[in-house]
Amino acid sequence: MSDLAAIILAAGKGTRMKSDLPKVFHEILGEPMLSYVLKTVQKLNPAKTLVVVGHGRRLITDFYKDWPVEFVVQAEQLGTGHAVMQTEPHLRDFSGQVLVLAGDVPLISEKTMRQLLDFHIKNKAAATDLTAVLPDAGNYGRIIRQENGEILRIVEKKDALPAELKINEINTGTFCFEKEALFSALKEVRAENAQKEYYLTDTIHILKKQGRPVFACQAENPDETLGINTRDELVAVEKILLTRAN
């Protein structure tokens, strides 16, 4: 797709994995988890695939040197918004839709990504957030939206009212953006939070304030949106993949 670019966030250290390896380089069934994401993204035939690397980047760039990807260095890990900011020079001559996803969601499928893209384009959205409904939304941000999928706001757990805490639809961290909307919103993102990081989710609020249409597209299978942060989560995803293989 000449009007599609993909950005894969792969700069994190993955402290909770208790290892010096970059998080996305931890193996699932003998393959780095990043490979699963890259292979699925390639099925969409994007015009560009950008992999944002940081911690232990030499391991990743060496391993994937023959893959059809470009590497973008995030020298300091200052949040997801900051990671995407680093890609702007690589997309200067590109116009179209930008898929942004993490390198630690190995179960995401081509079908789900196509559904996200189709929904995004059909609704002429500036941004579309892939969401999931979980039995227990836990610490995730809650999606407050209209019936047609238009997002009213994303509420973090700590800021949620009791009624909002009952909402089980959460932000998964996978997005589709119209390119110009993405980078204009990123220019307004500020690191005014406890972590002093630039959050990609802040673009949703910024685009809403600009009067741009922002939507939620719900994943049919919430398992596909599982991110891996710990070794226990790695084992859980391995079990799901083994079930699929049988």
How far apart CA 216 and CA 202 sit, in angstroms, is 15
212 belongs to the catalytic site: no
Judge contact between 77 and 98, C-beta under 8 A. Answer: no
* Token pair in block for residue 108: 């995401």
Phi, psi of 83, deg, nearest 5: -60, -45
C-alpha–C-alpha distance, residues 122 and 56, integer Å: 39
**3-class state of residue 89 by DSSP:** helix
Neighbours of 166 (CB within 10 A): 10
Half-sphere exposure of 90 (CA within 13 A, CB side): 20
How much is the CA Rg of the chain, to the nearest whole Å?
17
Catalytic residue among 16, 142, 153, 212: 16
Catalytically active residues, by annotation:
16
